[in-house]
Structure 1
């Protein structure tokens, strides 16, 4: 179905609240679970070793280029700027770790912003930018991994110090394949495969979402229940877009009196102009035949269109479902 909506949420409890809200509005909804497994490659090693390895990769890429015909050429879609960015991340991580070890002594509490945000779930006393937060988090993780820091009820406590050049650092490895064993041994680096698995929850609505009377109130409700801003924007756009294309299809049927499914397929795949020369924003429709088929099927279910595929026509408004009536009376 193309008129349904899928709403990603952070937890099952939030999903249940959204389903409860929609059912009060007469819109069927259910909770779907989606397992998500990702794998990230991470390079580990001392600063000088990592820098030598990444610099060699950058030089090799620049010398050979892409599509040279060499058996070990880089993938065609690989972005060579990755090496420069990773080297910048490495330098920033080395600087942050060095400063932390220089400015603190065993017994000192470090990383207060991260601890207050992640463990205490409170607003940190000191404001910081997202980049500063990410850097502090990376530094704390590095020190913990090097057994230089411990997590206590009071915070992250520095337990030992070491020379920055001896600390094992960790940087993302954006190349799609880990380095070969001989290369890893030559540069004294290790590649870590980080497997991350979690269960995602999604609220799936029926096509009746088209009849939602107060979209703004629904979006505010979703915001209060943990749906992220980017998803809210997509949901708002989806609701408005579905309403617009169904209006256009019904308008075409009213203008023609009746139309075949094949005619509708051709009409919408040609990216027709809804109206000629009206306003500074004009709509175009490029819907695939499969999309039009699914949309018509959904609209049949909602009672918005009727007839066989060879003679489709708009339904009499008086026969549309009660949810449809509410929408039409707005």
Structure 2
């Protein structure tokens, strides 16, 4: 159905909880499982190898993007050097796990001090970089549900292997890489999504003002949640305008489509406006869904409010 909307969750439990919420609002919702498999190509090499390669290229021709990567390499090396100076093999990294630092960051953000927020954010990003680099270099043991991170080895930061996406080093040629010690590493991964498909009746209910708050407490990507809430709002605005135009005297699909050619319409009782760029097929699909919901009636291109 045209008015159906989808949202993907990371776990079946959260999808089921959202499905329950929708059903309590008399909105139908079904769950389907979606498996995705994707890959991203990276360049992989030691910090020293990347630094040497970039220095060689920049010596021939200045490149601001490569200079930024060189600065990132030096920052990684400095951060890793400081980390190894403060830790020994066997240490359990209890004070710098992503979950702990993220919790600290969220607490600090709530307090609103920008300088402290910036420091906490940098610490969080550095923690992710350190743990990721240690794991890629097999210097970290991760165990347990919490999980627990144990340092299993120490290495010269210059000799630690790091990766950059192909797109980060788009200007590098095969000739540049020859003899550099830098190779390709294609990382593939599979993910499982639990997709909720809502019925069109969600567009007609007035009891979902708390939709955004509900999603905020579930395990769903922020952008995905935002896209879903926006889609519901936009479709509700479209349906409201369809109702208004039909009540105003429009009786055919063709006339309704032509009416939507207007530059913009007032958005509710606000001073804001909304515009619609609709295809005939899309509008027809919306109207068919509204007929099935008993919102409008009429056949063969005719429309009438119920």
Specify the TM-score bucket, using the shorter chain as the normaliser. Answer: 0.7 to 0.9
**Distance in 1 (alpha carbons) for counterparts of 2:190 and 2:65:** 25
What RMSD over aligned residues (CA atoms) do the two structures have, in Å? 3.5
Aligned to 1:112: 95
Structure 1 129/171 Cα, relative in aligned 2: closer, same or farther at 3 Å? Answer: farther
Report the alpha carbon displacement of residue 30 of structure 1 after superposing the two structures with TM. Answer: 0.3
Residue deviations 1:152-192 (CA, integer Å, cap 9, x gap): 67943434433332332333432598977665442111221
**Distance in 1 (alpha carbons) for counterparts of 2:65 and 2:32:** 36
Aligned to 2:255: 263
Aligned to 1:140: 131
**Does structure 1 conserve the Cα–Cα contact (< 8 Å) formed by 2:25 and 2:207?**
no
Structure 1 178/141 Cα, relative in aligned 2: closer, same or farther at 3 Å? Answer: farther
**Distance in 1 (alpha carbons) for counterparts of 2:129 and 2:270:** 51
**Distance in 2 (alpha carbons) for counterparts of 1:198 and 1:91:** 33
Aligned to 2:303: 312
2:79 aligned to 96, 102, 109, which one?
96
Higher mean alpha-carbon deviation, 15-24 vs 129-138, is at 129-138
Higher mean alpha-carbon deviation, 127-136 vs 25-34, is at 127-136
| Unaligned 5+ runs, structure 2 | 109-118
Aligned to 1:284: 275
**Distance in 2 (alpha carbons) for counterparts of 1:159 and 1:240:** 51
Of structures 1 and 2, the larger Rg is shown by: 1
Which structure exhibits the higher relative contact order, with contacts defined as CA atoms closer than 8 Å and separated by 6 or more residues? Answer: 2
**Does structure 1 conserve the Cα–Cα contact (< 8 Å) formed by 2:25 and 2:208?**
no
State whether structure 2 residue 207 is matched by structure 1 residue 224.
no
**Distance in 2 (alpha carbons) for counterparts of 1:216 and 1:58:** 55
Structure 1 201/45 Cα, relative in aligned 2: closer, same or farther at 3 Å? Answer: same
Report the alpha carbon displacement of residue 82 of structure 1 after superposing the two structures with TM. Answer: 5.0
**Distance in 1 (alpha carbons) for counterparts of 2:8 and 2:103:** 25
Structure 1 284/150 Cα, relative in aligned 2: closer, same or farther at 3 Å? Answer: closer
Residue deviations 1:202-224 (CA, integer Å, cap 9, x gap): 11111010232321234333333
Task: Give the 5 Å matches for 1:14-163.
Answer: 14-55=14-55, 82-110=65-93, 112-114=95-97, 117=100, 123=103, 129-151=120-142, 155-163=148-156
Higher mean alpha-carbon deviation, 153-162 vs 246-255, is at 153-162
**Does structure 1 conserve the Cα–Cα contact (< 8 Å) formed by 2:98 and 2:124?**
no
Residue deviations 1:287-324 (CA, integer Å, cap 9, x gap): 22222121111111111221123322222xxxxxxxxx
**Distance in 2 (alpha carbons) for counterparts of 1:263 and 1:58:** 63
**Distance in 1 (alpha carbons) for counterparts of 2:214 and 2:88:** 48
Report the alpha carbon displacement of residue 29 of structure 1 after superposing the two structures with TM. Answer: 0.9
**Distance in 1 (alpha carbons) for counterparts of 2:67 and 2:162:** 17
**Distance in 2 (alpha carbons) for counterparts of 1:232 and 1:157:** 35
1:297 aligned to 288, 291, 294, which one?
288
Aligned residues: 292
SS across alignment from 2:273? coil
**Does structure 2 conserve the Cα–Cα contact (< 8 Å) formed by 1:109 and 1:158?**
yes
**Does structure 1 conserve the Cα–Cα contact (< 8 Å) formed by 2:89 and 2:154?**
yes
SS across alignment from 1:113? coil
Report the alpha carbon displacement of residue 34 of structure 1 after superposing the two structures with TM. Answer: 2.0
Structure 1 22/99 Cα, relative in aligned 2: closer, same or farther at 3 Å? Answer: same
Aligned to 1:203: 196
Give the TM-score of the pair, scaled to structure 1: 0.74
2:184 aligned to 180, 187, 191, which one?
191
